[in-house]
Amino acid sequence: MPDVREYLSEVEYPCERGELLRSATAHGAGEDVLGHLGKLPEQRYENADAVHRLLGDDVDPREMS
């Protein structure tokens, strides 16, 4: 899993998944990073820790109930 911190450094939390993707794209993230962010559940993220916790587990949103 690539480190996404550099691509999300300017995100203002709380935010939605779409904002994470926009920020990463604006900061030059590659398809690998965008692919991992795209797997995140569509929900509100209160802080960077919440994002990194899910990314660290490489969560498949279809497995979340």
Burial readout 11-30 (b: 16 or more C-beta within 10 A, e: otherwise): beeebebebbbebbeeeebe
The pLDDT tens digits of the residues spanning 2-61 come to 678 889 999 999 999 999 999 999 999 999 999 999 999 999 999 999 998 998 855 444
- Helices 17-26, 31-38: axis angle to 10 degrees equals 170
Q: pTM of the prediction?
A: 0.80
pLDDT of residue 60: 45
